[in-house]
Amino acid sequence: MKLDEYVGGLGDDEAARRRQLAEEKSYEITEYLEDVERSIDESLQGDALFGSTAPGIFVGRSSYPDVSAGVLAPVSDPDRAAEFETGPHWYKRGYTIDDVFQSRTNLLNSAKRTNVHVADEWDGFTGVQREIAIADRPVDVELGLDGQPEIEMDLSVRDISTPTGPRATAEYADLGENPHVPKPVEYALSDDDWKAEGAMTYLYNRGLDVYQIENVLAAGALGETESRKLVPTRWSITAVDDTICEFLRGQIHNRPSVDRTAVWYNEYLGNRFWVILAPGDFEFELVELKAPGSVWNPAGRGYNVTSDYEGFEGRTSYASETAGAYYAAKLGALEELADRGRQAKVLIVRHVTPDYWGPAGVWQVRETVRNAFEEGEPGEAETLHDAVGELLDQWPVDLNTLRRNSELVAGVQASLADFDRR
């Protein structure tokens, strides 16, 4: 399908209605937090939270290496515990930002201050936390709390990890059952000399998705035994994405290039993604166009444009402009290229609209890019130059702005027609 026909078929579906709904959501979350507080009061027996089922853990980064390490357990609907944990099922079920926040506010983070150097420690609260993290399904637990939970949400505008809900200081945690641990995780855990990067790649190749691997890494269950540490959740998310990306990049390093320029579009949670694959050796760039009024640019008068880029040999520094979104988007693109056995120049343009009213986490970047390739046949263009030129009308900034902020677009020569359209 020609790119102009592909673009013509994309409508601005009920944008005004979604913006109005977005303005109302903050009030709904406040009301939901009040419901959560009532559920906690009903669930507490003395200072203990009984009959809970923990789907995961959260490791903070403040005061590192003495971090707040917690067990996430629902305060209501324990039978739905698996639904409250971040994963691709949120995208498949069409979760809204409101759904994400409600899922996370239903998880009580019962935490203790813990030194990250856990090595082979599997006793006490730390041991229970690690057992929960390596399991492939929620685990029954009993949690003893020191005082009443704090009913609030931790919303990070860095938008890497999913928001966390109410918090409480934990006195103890006891398992109510033996966790079910996947065989590949048991194998990786038992190898005393395996570096964490190799173990992560092994788990990915054995069918574990990055979400499972993030939990295992955060619990300090990978790497050489004496060097094993708890890893703050925000760091573990990016570390896993980056490690798997490096593995996949190695897989396509000597593969032939794609033979055509193709464009895919996908939109989710107020984020619009254009994914362009063009012939050539592997290069990757994420360009973010952040609208005034969006969570990324709440007080701005114009668009905030940021980008990160890497060439064929990769990058040696952190992608500080686009942060975790860079690695999540790159993973989605590299998985597609590895499946095809091809390499390409990859340009992803992310338009963050005002509809993105709350930071949901980079999982939505990963899943939107992954699923872009499932959204039917792409649009086609002769070259990357042609693709960018035809897409300018879909983007809220002009070609000069893009060229100043993008390595790949900087190589695109402007024509008079491009400027006429702006």
Please tell me whether residues 389 and 267 are part of one structural domain. yes
Please tell me whether residues 270 and 402 are part of one structural domain. yes
Alpha helix segments (H runs only) across 341-415: 363-372, 384-391, 399-405, 407-410
Q: Which residue has the tokens 């971040």?
A: 86
Residue 7 lies in a domain: no
Percent of the chain with pLDDT over 70: 83
Contacts by residues 192-196 (CB-CB < 8 Å, ≥ 24 positions apart): 192/224, 192/225, 193/224, 194/222, 194/223, 194/224, 195/223, 195/224, 196/222, 196/223, 196/243
Tell me the per-residue pLDDT of 135-151, one tens digit each, with 9 for 90 and over: 999 999 999 888 777 76
Residue where a domain stops, chosen among 207, 223, 245: 245
Domain span at residue 324 reads 256-421
Please tell me whether residues 269 and 216 are part of one structural domain. no
Residue where a domain stops, chosen among 190, 214, 245: 245
Please tell me whether residues 219 and 292 are part of one structural domain. no
Cβ atoms of 105 and 36 closer than 8 Å: yes
C-alpha 65/C-alpha 116 separation (Å) is 6
Please tell me whether residues 61 and 196 are part of one structural domain. yes
Residue 4 lies in a domain: no
Q: What is the pLDDT of residue 49?
A: 63
Please tell me whether residues 219 and 282 are part of one structural domain. no
Residue ranges in the chain whose pLDDT is less than 70: 1-51, 151-160, 413-422
Domain count, the chain: 2
pTM above 0.75, yes or no: yes
C-alpha 252/C-alpha 386 separation (Å) is 25
